[in-house]
Amino acid sequence: MKSFINISDISRKDLRKIVNDAKLQKKKRSTLKKSEVDLDSPLSGRILIMIFEKPSTRTRISFELAMKQLGGQLLVLDPKQSHYGSGNENTHDTAKILSQYGDIVMMRTHEHEHFLEFSKYLEIPIINGLTNLSHPCQVMSDIMTFEELKGPIVNKKIAWLGDGNNIVYSLIEASVQFNFQLAIACPKKFRPNKNIIEWAKIKNRKILITQDPAEAAKSADCVMTDKWISMSDQINKIKKKKILKDYQVNKKIMKLAKTDAIFMHCLPASRGEEVTNDVMDGEQSVVWLEALNRIHIQKSIIKWCLSY
Ligand code: CP
Ligand code: NVA
């Protein structure tokens, strides 16, 4: 059984296969309407169950469209209206039930540990739709988007400015698996997860971690950021924003990157905080394509999990 939990769990060969398949399948359906099923309807008769313990716009809608285009069906378990969310039924039992109703689960939860605990009891594959630790589907979409626009990502320089959060965790894993340079500028207090930095070191990937945003952005092919406050952050928000204020992506930062560099943001954004309006809406911004490609990469992730 193949689950999609973290990018570091999956072989380089399979990750490459997923990205290439997504690019190919996207091209193949370029003349079809948004909810028309792919000509081969690969997941006809299959069911994806989605569980969201926190809000989502892109992940929810893009998984729904992904499943529609694959010819499959979708069920949503709303924690607010189920025994699962009320704590009225143990995780083990819910996982057992869902294993009978569906073929695959996609789950967004707060604690990564909870995600792992739930997946232990599930008898069908599960996809990580974001935890406090990581957001692998997003970063896979970012790789696909980068390559669509700029060609192979190998040896390219990606700069991250801001919070060392769940997106950075997946980005660090991706820099090892897809072999690109990663430069992270963040304050000491908000450095990325130590374990994943250690893992990258063991894999011989040198990642630049600096407190200087200019050093990270210099000659980058892509500049990325995310909200300074994540959904699971239980922290003094005002203090955190103050510490991060020098890590904003603005025109001055984009000028340090290559002239043809792109700007990425997983969205939702807090315009005026981690990114200025002129960068978000500027010519270098590819944030809308990143969101669109979530559909295509997730179709390939679902198919990979189900061995199609
Ligand atoms: N980028 C992303 O995962 O967005 P949502 O929180 O809207 O799903
Ligand atoms: N880091 C953000 C990503 C949202 C898609 C969060 O966890 O809230």
* DSSP element (H, E) containing 138: helix 136-150
**Nearest ligand by distance to the CA of 287:** 1
For the question of residue 137 being annotated catalytic, the response is no
252 and 229 in a common domain = yes
Task: Say if ligand 1 is within 6 A of residue 265 CB.
Answer: no
Residue with tokens 């359906």: 29
Give yes or no for residue 190 having a pLDDT over 90: yes
CB 206 within 8 A of CB 157: no
Are residue 24 and residue 165 in the same domain, yes or no? no
Number of C-beta neighbours around residue 29 at 10 A: 16
Asked if residue 37 and residue 147 are part of one domain, the reply reads no
Q: How far is residue 189's CA from residue 183's CA, in Å, rounded to a whole number?
A: 17
Which is more confident, 146 or 88? Answer: 146
In this model, does residue 50 exceed pLDDT 90? yes
Q: Is 135 a catalytic residue?
A: yes
Average pLDDT, the chain: 97
Specify the number of domains making up the chain. 2
Instruction: Tell me, in angstroms, the distance from the centre of ligand 1 to residue 133's CA.
Output: 15
Task: Respond yes or no: is residue 226 known to be catalytic.
Answer: yes
pLDDT, tens digit, for every residue of 267-278? Answer: 999 999 999 999
- For residue 217, tell me if it sits in a domain: yes
Q: Is position 18 within any domain?
A: yes
Q: Which atom of ligand 2 is nearest to the CA of 58?
A: 5
Structural domain that includes position 109? 7-134+294-305
* Residue type (1 letter), 176: V
Question: What is the whole-number distance in angstroms between the Cα of residue 221 and the centre of ligand 1?
Answer: 24
What is the residue with the minimal CA distance to atom 7 of ligand 1? 57
H or E element at residue 141 = helix 136-150
pLDDT at 271: 98
133 has a pLDDT exceeding 90:
yes
What are 63-106's pLDDT values in tens digits?
999 999 999 999 999 998 899 888 889 989 999 999 999 999 99
Question: Would you give the distance in Å from CA 305 to the centre of its chain?
Answer: 16
Please give the full DSSP string across 77-136, using - where no structure is assigned.
Answer: E-GGGSHHHHTSS-HHHHHHHHHHH-SEEEEE-S-HHHHHHHHHH-SS-EEE---SS--H
Question: Phi then psi for 106, rounded to 5 degrees?
Answer: -120, 130
| From 46, 135, 265, 296, active-site residue | 135
40 CA → ligand 1 middle, Å: 28
Do 100 and 145 have their domain in common? no
Write down the pLDDT at residue 186: 98
Q: How far is the CA of 165 from the centre of ligand 2 (A)?
A: 8
Q: What is the pLDDT of residue 214?
A: 98
Shared-domain flag, residues 19 and 151: no
Q: Of all residues in the chain, what percent carry a pLDDT higher than 70?
A: 100
In-domain check, residue 46: yes
Lookup: tokens for 281: 């809406």
H-helix or E-strand spanning residue 5: none
Contact 219, 258 (CB under 8 A): yes
Is residue 273 located within the same domain as residue 150?
yes
186 in active site = no
Verify that 152 and 12 share a domain, yes or no. Answer: no
Nearest to 243 by CA among 188, 173, 164: 188
Q: How confident is the model at residue 189, as a pLDDT?
A: 97
**Atom in ligand 1 nearest the alpha carbon of residue 266:** 1
Of all ligands present, the nearest one to the C-alpha of 63 is: 1
Which ligand ends up closest to the CA of 290? 1
Q: Do 143 and 284 have their domain in common?
A: yes
The answer to whether residue 2 sits within a structural domain is: no
Predicted TM-score (pTM) of this structure: 0.98
Q: Which amino acid is at 136?
A: P
CATH of the domain at 61: 3.40.50.1370
pLDDT at residue 77, as a whole number: 94
Instruction: For residues 126 and 158, state if they share a domain.
Output: no
Is 182 contained in some domain? yes
What is the best residue among 132, 267, 289 to mutate for testing ligand 1's pocket, by most ligand atoms within 8 Å of CB?
A: 267
Specify whether 160 is located in the same domain as 125. Answer: no
Give domain status of residue 263, yes or no: yes
Same domain for 281 and 149: yes
- Going by alpha carbons, the residue nearest to atom 7 of ligand 2 is 230
Query: Which residues on neighbouring strands pair with residue 4, listed in sequence order?
Result: 127
Distance 204 CA to ligand 1 centre (A): 31
Q: Tell whether 15 is covered by a domain.
A: yes
User: Nearest-CA neighbor of 138 among 279, 16, 249, 298?
Assistant: 298
Mutate to test the pocket of ligand 1, among 76, 169, 266 (most ligand atoms within 8 A of CB): 266
Q: What's the pLDDT at 84?
A: 86
Same domain (yes/no): 98, 195 = no
Strand-pair partners of 159: 183, 223
Query: Is 1 a domain residue?
Result: no
- Report CA dihedral (214, 216, 222, 225) to the nearest 10 degrees: -90
| Pocket of ligand 2 from Cβ distances under 6 Å | 130, 135, 165-167, 226-227, 230-231, 266
The pLDDT of residue 265? 98
Instruction: Answer yes or no: 29 catalytic.
Output: no
pLDDT in tens, 106-118: 999 999 999 999 9
